[in-house]
């Protein structure tokens, strides 16, 4: 019988050390998406990094905006709905 080593098992137990700052993973994710998108869509390379920065800001702003909308929905609007 094979026994598992104690410790962190990916996808089974959470990594508690990174839980307070998990939201910081949005920045490299948005930057990577913007680089890939602009490398496929950009017409000229002289404006490439500026367009990547603008796209990154748009992505992060959109996710933050959706987070605010859903927080308002869950915290204030849904509890006002009568049950039954």
Neighbouring residues of 53: CB distance < 8 A, sequence distance ≥ 6: 34
The model carries a pTM of 0.74
For residue 79, what are the CA distances in angstroms to 1, 69, 71? Answer: 50, 15, 12
Residue 11 maps to a domain: no
How confident is the model over 59-84, as pLDDT tens digits? 999 999 999 999 999 999 888 888 87
Residue 26 maps to a domain: yes
Residue 9 maps to a domain: no
**Residue whose pair of structure tokens reads 């869950």 in the numeric block:** 74
Question: Contact at 8 Å (CB) between 1 and 34?
Answer: no
Structure-model confidence comparison of residues 32 and 77, the more confident one: 32
Residue 15 maps to a domain: no
Domain of residue 57: give its range.
22-80
């Amino acid at each position: 019988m094979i026994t598992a080593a104690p410790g962190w098992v990916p996808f089974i137990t959470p990594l508690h050390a990174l839980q307070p700052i998990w939201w910081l993973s949005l920045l490299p994710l948005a930057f990577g998406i913007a680089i890939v998108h602009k490398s496929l869509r950009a017409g000229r390379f002289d404006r490439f990094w500026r367009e990547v920065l603008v796209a990154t800001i748009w992505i992060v702003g959109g996710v933050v905006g959706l987070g605010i909308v859903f927080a308002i929905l869950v915290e204030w609007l849904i509890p006002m709905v009568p049950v039954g």
